[in-house]
Structure 1
Amino acid sequence: MEESIFVIDRKLPKSELEEQKQFLKEAEEEVDNLKERLNIVEEVSEYGFWDINLDTGSVYFNKNFAAILGCQPNELNSFRISDFDSFILKEDQAIFKEALNSHINNQSEWLDITVRLRNTEQGYKWVLFKGKVIMHDQNCIPLRFAGRIEDITLRKIAEEKIKSNLQKEHELNELHTRFISRISHELRTPLATILSATETIEKYELQLSTKQRTTLFSKIKSSIDELKEMLDDVTVLNKFDSNKMNGANKPFDIIRFTSDLIEEVKFNSPSHAQIKVEFDCQNKVVCTNMNLLKHVLINLLSNAIKYTPYDRNIYFRLKRSDDQVRIVIEDEGMGIPEDEQKNIFEPFYRASNVSNIAGTGLGLTIVKESLESLNGFINFRSIENTGTQFTLTFPGNCNNSNNQI
């Protein structure tokens, strides 16, 4: 027996049809409103959005998405999730793949990673990827993957600047700590000597012989000289740090200048090694900053005298040719241990074999800073227990012209 199917054709009342039409009209208006709001959000947002259907391969993205990737929207019509790799800097591709696979395989709640994109204009730019699988099938296989991409290059630059400033501040704090520690240590010895000598003179003034008083006064003077040297070094270095080291380039007689300087150093160090001087000057007139050059030469000559036995030699050689000045200061002193030579221009650094000799560890820092200010440079070679040679090279002319005093 065949089944009979009865279809009842029931016409809806006019009022009910009107209600349905009104409902559909309102729904369409709401959809239009939502679309308009979405367009407004996309228009004012700096984010790039994507929505990829992993099953059908269809993809939605806004114009910012293409702009951040650095391409035109029509270039992304066949975009696939694996195509992200082609935009990411090679060095960051592995960490992006690892983060993406971790999320796709349900091992993380979000894809949340910062990487660099290729950028032909600036080399690369920093971006933040934040995405999520928003739909799975019954077997928990991902079907839709949506998210946003944000250009955070300016933020990264600011972060790096803050990090650099914090690092500089940390280094500066360490430098100040070392400075206080070193100065405190170095001040103790001369101050203790001055205190001891003055107490002795005060207590035994009538019992002391002329020779004994002379010896004590000599110790006081020597200690005062040490204090003055430390204060001078600190003052000079502080001027470099605050860019207050002044003085203009002026022409002067380099032979007379260095000869007077050597005599001054010898006068301040009565018991010293023999200083042998050699001049080779086609033109004895040099144009440079005399104050800076004086700091350089006094520091190097004083070190040579300080670390060289009195029965050994110190050599001072000056060569002036064309537009360059070359000065070599060589001693037959203690030398610098080979494994410590890389540190000698660091502030407050002192080689291990001179720890029992007074000094702040600032002299060679001042020398290097001064030569750089003169547009020059310094080289050295040293053998422990044999001696050290410093070679200074700097321009000798003002504006590459002949100079007259």
Structure 2
Amino acid sequence: MKNHLLGISIANHVLLKGPSVEVSLNTCIEVLGESHEVDRCYILKIEKDCINYCYEWCNSGISPFLNNSNLKREICNEFSEILAKLSNDEPIYGCVKDCNNASFSRIMKDRNVQSYLFTPILENSELCGWIGYESCNDEKKWDNNQIVSLHLLAKNIGIRIKHDKIFANLGDDLECFNFYIQGSQYFIWELDLKTFTTTISHKWAEMIGYNTTGIVNTHDFWKKNIHLDDIDRLEKELKDYILNKAVYYEGIFRIKHKNGQFIWIKYYGLIKKDNSGKPIKIIGTHINVNEIKEKEIQLQISEEKFKFIADHNSDVICQHNIDGSYRYVSNSIKEILGYEPDEMLDKIAFYFIHPDDFRRVLNAYKKCIKYSKYRILTYRFRKKDNTYIWLETASKNILNEENVVVGVQTSSRDVSERIKSEKKIKTALKKEREISEMKSRFGAMASHQFRTPLTVIYSNAELIDLKTNHLDKETVNSIENITSRIKKEVDRMTELMNNILIFGKYESKKIKKEIKKINLNIYIKTLINTYFNKELQEEKIEIIIKGEKKVLHTDETLLTHILTNLISNAFKYSAGKSNPLIIITYLEKEIEIEVIDYGIGIPENETQYLFTSFFRASNTNTIIGSGLGLAIVKQFTDFLKGRIKLKTKENFGTTIKLIFPYEQK
């Protein structure tokens, strides 16, 4: 894409500045062929109902067809369908193998062509020829941007051809323009190159405060009245134009008005030659641009102020033309990127962007121009030493007085260190996730590996109880005390393994919500009877329901983990005290579930650590526990969009209130 843009830019430049259309087209064809990586590039020109093959460029190893008379006849006979489309200003492209025109396919195959593109050249809306691009070694795919830009280039060729014809036919007719131009702001003058005397229009004289009789039409008169800073330049430009060293004679100079003030004049001249090619006179126009120039000077002052601010800014401030080429670069570019500002002027910015970022940046640039939106983009840019750094660039369109986009202003800063830091953070987060996953896998593996031996230990303890039934009572009681301790420790280990497994799943983000409707009143009673049947043989837990019953949408499994942990703690830490209590309150938009016990409570200075993994209060050393129960309660409550409120006092008990929405989004 960069070669494509560069080739188009060079071809347009050659077309604009070339001395003649013939020389320009030869150069354009070579540049376009090389930059677009085709094998053959040429122009077919329509002249008097005949099509001539000309301006051909061929890649290395490709056979030329310039001046091939057989080809000319075939084109005339077989290309009628193509001529019709090209006359409608339609580019034609494709693969030869896909073409339905047998004659056209045969001609292309004889030239070893696999794919092609034709862009029409029109003069005054009439087809005068086309540019052909042919690929012989592969089936080149043309994207829309290339086709559109090459189509526009062909239009520019038609404009240049028309321009040259107009000026070639001017000749003596320019002398007639003085009559028609009297009413315009353009004032006619003529310079005789033999006598170096001038002829001017009446309005030209008025422009500088004279009438035609008050002006001496000699070289000395003009030299005396033209500003001293402009005279040497003007004489050199005139001499270069006469000697054919310059293509155009045009510019701006200052001339003294009769009142003594200087005014700015824009001039344009066209040379006239005799039949032998010798210059005989120059005919031209002048226009008073004093007001425009004054505004331009004020603008220049503003630009100089902008340049001063930009050059003393640590960011790289740039202004770009529509094609992305630099037209201004601040001095800070040397410190950041190593380039001198002048060496970047007219170069295309996209050429320096990292290949992996090129397409993204180009698309963003196009959107910036099209939608006039302020944009910030981060990408890699090549320094002068060919290394890349990360730039963060803010872009804003430059508009003219008609609010048309004429360029883009950018401000760029080096953010390489920030990018490195972000990468380090991402790496650290990745490692943290890996460690978390490893912990989860280890927990699952450990839980699985411990379950089997714990089951064996528990079953053997029960077997010991059965085997000792025939012994005396004192021995049986002694053995049962031992097996009871074994069973309690097995239960403790089982609870710990279950909690570790659940905790690990949550940490590794492997737990998913399965939301469904539940009747909370029935659910609570079923849960207590299922999980706390042993405790209910010794104690009771009272359930109080307040408010009008509503349907709760939640994950039953996760809610079970929450409530079994809270109810288990209520029984565990209130042994010998008043029975625990559960209060369910149906509010308008939320439901509250309170689990209350009247047990040992929690020391005030330790409540801040309650929901931390593996934390146990200092007054629970003699009570079996894993330190994971409340951590799991907090995690799953948050996961279900709920909230927790805790109220506790040592030796007086604990109240934990859960608040959930009725709906899960």
Q: 1:338-353, aligned counterparts within 5 Å?
A: 338-353=604-619
Correspondence for 1:394: 660
Superposed CA deviations along residues 108-139 of structure 1, whole A, max 9, x for unmatched, are xxxxxxxxxxxx999xxxxxxxxxxxxxxxxx
Correspondence for 1:253: 519
Choose the corresponding residue for 1:376, options 639, 642, 650.
Answer: 642
Deviation at 1:277, TM superposition (A): 1.7
Q: Which runs of 5+ in 1 are unaligned?
A: 1-60, 82-119, 123-147, 182-187, 400-405
Deviation at 1:75, TM superposition (A): 10
Choose the corresponding residue for 1:302, options 568, 576, 588.
Answer: 568
Residue 257 and residue 197 in structure 1: after superposition, are their counterparts in 2 closer, same or farther (change >3 A)? closer
Choose the corresponding residue for 1:227, options 476, 484, 493.
Answer: 493
Q: 1:334 aligns to what SS in structure 2?
A: coil
Distance 1:356 1:304 in 2: 16
Superposed CA deviations along residues 26-77 of structure 1, whole A, max 9, x for unmatched, are xxxxxxxxxxxxxxxxxxxxxxxxxxxxxxxxxxx9xx99896264598977
Name the TM-score, length of structure 1 as normaliser. 0.54
Superposed CA deviations along residues 248-270 of structure 1, whole A, max 9, x for unmatched, are 21112110111222233441324
Q: 1:239 aligns to what SS in structure 2?
A: helix
Residue 180 and residue 153 in structure 1: after superposition, are their counterparts in 2 closer, same or farther (change >3 A)? same
Q: 1:264 aligns to what SS in structure 2?
A: helix
Deviation at 1:154, TM superposition (A): 0.9
Equivalent pair of 2:615/2:627 in contact (CA under 8 Å): yes
Deviation at 1:165, TM superposition (A): 4.9
Q: Is residue 2:155 matched to residue 1:155?
A: no
Deviation at 1:320, TM superposition (A): 1.5
Correspondence for 2:510: 244
Equivalences, count? 273
Correspondence for 1:49: none
Distance 1:322 1:243 in 2: 32
Q: 1:185-334, aligned counterparts within 5 Å?
A: 206-209=470-473, 212=477, 218-270=484-536, 273-334=539-600
Equivalent pair of 2:439/2:504 in contact (CA under 8 Å): no
Q: 2:602 aligns to what SS in structure 1?
A: coil
Superposed CA deviations along residues 86-114 of structure 1, whole A, max 9, x for unmatched, are xxxxxxxxxxxxxxxxxxxxxxxxxxxxx
Q: Is residue 2:315 matched to residue 1:69?
A: yes
Moved more, 327-336 or 304-313: 304-313
Moved more, 209-218 or 277-286: 209-218
Deviation at 1:242, TM superposition (A): 3.0
Equivalent pair of 1:190/1:226 in contact (CA under 8 Å): no
Distance 1:223 1:340 in 2: 26
Distance 1:342 1:303 in 2: 18
Correspondence for 1:28: none
Amino acid at match of 1:207: L
Q: 2:427 aligns to what SS in structure 1?
A: helix
Equivalent pair of 2:562/2:633 in contact (CA under 8 Å): yes
Q: 1:232 aligns to what SS in structure 2?
A: helix
Amino acid at match of 1:237: F
Residue 176 and residue 341 in structure 1: after superposition, are their counterparts in 2 closer, same or farther (change >3 A)? farther
Q: Which runs of 5+ in 2 are unaligned?
A: 1-306, 320-327, 336-373, 377-412, 447-452
Equivalent pair of 1:178/1:348 in contact (CA under 8 Å): no
Higher normalized contact order (CA 8 Å, seq sep 6+, divided by chain length): 1
Deviation at 1:153, TM superposition (A): 1.9
Q: 1:313 aligns to what SS in structure 2?
A: coil
Equivalent pair of 1:377/1:394 in contact (CA under 8 Å): yes
Residue 76 and residue 291 in structure 1: after superposition, are their counterparts in 2 closer, same or farther (change >3 A)? same
Give the RMSD, CA atoms, in angstroms. 4.7
Distance 1:65 1:329 in 2: 69
Deviation at 1:220, TM superposition (A): 4.9
Distance 1:233 1:318 in 2: 26
Deviation at 1:374, TM superposition (A): 0.8
Distance 1:150 1:320 in 2: 55
Name the TM-score, length of structure 2 as normaliser. 0.34
Amino acid at match of 1:209: K
Equivalent pair of 1:379/1:391 in contact (CA under 8 Å): yes
Distance 1:150 1:260 in 2: 61
